[in-house]
Amino acid sequence: MASVTAPPNTKVELNKDEILRYSRHLILPEVGMEGQLKLKQAKVLMVGAGGLGAPLGLYLAASGVGRIGIVDFDVVDFTNLQRQVIHGTKDVGRKKLDSAAESMQDINPYLQVDKFEVAITSENALDIIKDYDMVIDGTDNFPTRYLINDACVLLQKPNVYGSIFRFEGQSTIYGYPGGTIDGKKYEKGPCYRCSYPEPPPPGLVPSCAEGGVLGILPGIIGLVQATEAVKLILGIGEPLIGRLMLYDALAMRFREMKVRRNPECPVCGDNPTIKELIDYHQFCGVPNPKDAAPEATHLSGFVSDTEIDAVALKAKLDRGDKFQFIDVREPHEYEIAKIPGATLIPLNDVPKRFGELDPEKETVVHCKMGGRSAKAADFLRSQGFKHVKNMLGGITAWSDKVDSSVPKY
C-alpha cells in the first residue's frame, strides 16, 4: 500500500484553515498538497490507547491523518500517567477511548475518530480492520499480537509493529502485501510469525506492569511507528519492511536486524495453512480473561488448595495462623511497599534459597500482581512442598482490598 485513494466521486480538498495548519508539510516537496491530501484520505487503525498509542494518536492527528480508529476498553489509571501522555490527571477513571479522542480532536478538529470500546478478538478483528488502510499495533501481550498479525495478513493490510520493555524497544512493518514506494518495488514482506513462529512459554516475558518501563521509551517507539505509517501513506522514503529496528535507551543506540519472510510460514508463506483466525489465548498457552473464574476475580475471602486472595490472607494473619509467607519481588520493589510479616526472597533466588524453608509447612507466596509468585509456587511444588498457595493479585490486591495505605506502583 504505497498510497491511499479517495472513494469514487469524492473530491477531497484542504480548506484555508487546513492549508495554514499544514503549511510546514506543504512546503516539503516530498509532501506538498498531493501528499497532504493523501494524509487526509488515509484511514489508520490504532489498537491500544496506552503507552504506544499515546504518541501515535497525538502525532497522527497533528499530521493530518483524516480518520483514525482506536480499539481500547481500558480506563485511565494513575500508573499510566508516567508515560501515556495523551491522558492527564483529570482523566483518571475515564475511558481511555474518550480521553484519547478528546486530546486528538483538540489538536486537530478536522479529524474523524472511530471508537471501538471492545477487546479485539478472533470474532471481531476482521470486521474492525477491513475498513482501514493499515493497523498500528500498540498492544502489550502475545495473544493480541499474533491475532493482529494474522488478521492483517489475511486482509493484506500492513501492520506497523512496536513493542517496549524496561529500557528497550523495537519496531518494524509486518505483513506488507507488496507494492512500489518512492520508485522502489517491494515484494511481499515478512509477518510477525516469520520472526516468532512460536510464542514464548507463559510467564517467561514479564509485562511492563511487572518489569517496568522507562516513561520516555514508548514516546520514541510510538513516534517511529507514526513515522512509518506516514511514510506508507505518502509513499516516500525507505520503510521498515524486512528490517527490525532495535533501540537501547541506556546506550542511546539504534541498530537493525534483517527479517525475512519465511516461505513455509503458516500464515504468509507460499502454502499457508492458517486461513482463518484461531484461538490465540490457547495458542499462547495463557488463560482467556473472559473465562476467568469468578471466585478468583470477584469474591472476597477466596481460598483453594493452590490460591488465596488478599482478604483470606488478612484473616489468616489476624488469627495468628502459622505459615511461611514469602515475597518474591525484587529488593527495590520491597522498599516501595511491603506486607507486614512477609520474608523477601526474590524470584531468581528461590531456586538457591528454598532450602531455608520447611517443605512440610503451609507456604503463601506473593509478588506485585501474582505472575511471579505463581512461578515460585510451581517451583516449590516441584521440590516437594505440599501446601503452597499463590496470593491472587499480589500486593496490588492487598492495597485494593485490605490496606489502602500500602502504596500501589
d(Cα 5, Cα 358) in Å, to the nearest integer? 69
Q: Indicate if 253 and 325 belong to the same structural domain.
A: no
**Together in a domain, 272 and 299:** no
Q: What is the pLDDT, as a whole number, of residue 302? A: 84
pLDDT at 5: 40
Cα–Cα nearest to 397, from 314, 326, 310: 310
Using the 3D structure, point to which of 258, 291, 324 is the last residue of a domain: 291
**Residue-level pLDDT at 10:** 59
**One domain for residues 392 and 261:** no
Judgement on whether residues 180 and 323 belong to the same structural domain of the protein: no
Q: Are residues 174 and 221 in the same domain?
A: yes
5 is a domain residue: no
Q: Is 208 a catalytic residue?
A: yes
Domain end, chosen from 291, 319, 346, is at 291
Q: How many domains does the chain have?
A: 2
In a domain, 186, yes or no: yes
For residues 315 and 286, membership in a common domain is answered with: no
Per-residue pLDDT of the chain (409 residues; tens, 9 = 90+): 433 444 444 578 999 999 999 999 999 999 999 999 999 999 999 999 999 999 999 999 999 999 999 999 999 999 999 999 999 999 999 999 999 999 999 999 999 999 999 999 999 999 999 999 999 999 999 999 999 999 999 999 999 999 999 999 999 999 999 999 999 999 999 999 999 999 988 777 777 887 889 999 999 999 999 999 999 999 999 999 999 999 999 999 999 999 999 999 999 999 999 999 999 999 998 877 665 444 444 456 888 989 999 999 999 999 999 999 999 999 999 999 999 999 999 999 999 999 999 999 999 999 999 999 999 999 999 999 999 999 999 999 999 999 999 999 9
Residue 279: predicted pLDDT: 94
pLDDT of residue 201: 84
The one catalytic residue in 265, 268, 284, 367 is 367
Q: Does residue 4 lie within any of the structural domains?
A: no
Q: What is the pTM of this model?
A: 0.81
Q: Residues 279, 361: one domain?
A: no
Domain CATH for 90? 3.40.50.720
Rounded Cα distance between 306 and 389, Å, is: 4
Structural domain span for residue 204: 16-291
Residues 126 and 139 both lie in one domain: yes
Per-residue model confidence (pLDDT) at position 6 = 40
Is residue 365 in a domain?
A: yes
Same domain, 330 and 283: no
Q: Are residues 250 and 390 in the same domain?
A: no
Evaluate whether residue 61 is within a structural domain: yes
CATH of the domain at 320: 3.40.250.10
341: left (phi over 0), alpha (psi -120 to 50) or beta: left
Residue in 208, 265, 268, 284 annotated catalytic: 208
Does some domain include residue 330? yes
| 311 plus 246 within the same structural domain | no
The torsion angles phi and psi of 121, rounded to 5 degrees, stand at: -135, 175
Other residues' Cβ atoms within 10 Å of the Cβ of residue 207: 13
SS3 string of the chain?
A: CCCCCCCCCCCCCCCHHHHHHCHHHHCCCCCHHHHHHHHHHCEEEEECCCCCHHHHHHHHHHHCCCEEEEECCCECCHHHCCCCCCCCHHHCCCEHHHHHHHHHHHHCCCCEEEEECCCCCCCCHHHHHCCCCEEEECCCCHHHHHHHHHHHHHHCCCEEEEEEEECEEEEEEECCCCEEECCEEECCCCCHHHHCCCCCCCCCCCCHHHHCECCCHHHHHHHHHHHHHHHHHHCCCCCCECEEEEEECCCCEEEEEECCCCCCCCCCCCCCCCCCCCCHHHHHCCCCHHHCCHHHHCCCCCECCCEECHHHHHHHHHHCCCCEEEECCCHHHHHHCCCCCCEECCHHHHHHHHHHCCCCCCEEEECCCCHHHHHHHHHHHHCCCCCEEEECCHHHHHHHHCCCCCCCC
- The answer on 252 and 233 residing in a single domain is yes
Task: Give yes or no: 367 in active site.
Answer: yes
Confidence at residue 289, expressed as pLDDT on a 0 to 100 scale: 64
Domain termination residue (choose one: 291, 320, 337): 291
Q: Is 272 a member of any domain? A: yes
168 in a domain, yes or no? yes
What is the pLDDT, as a whole number, of residue 297?
43
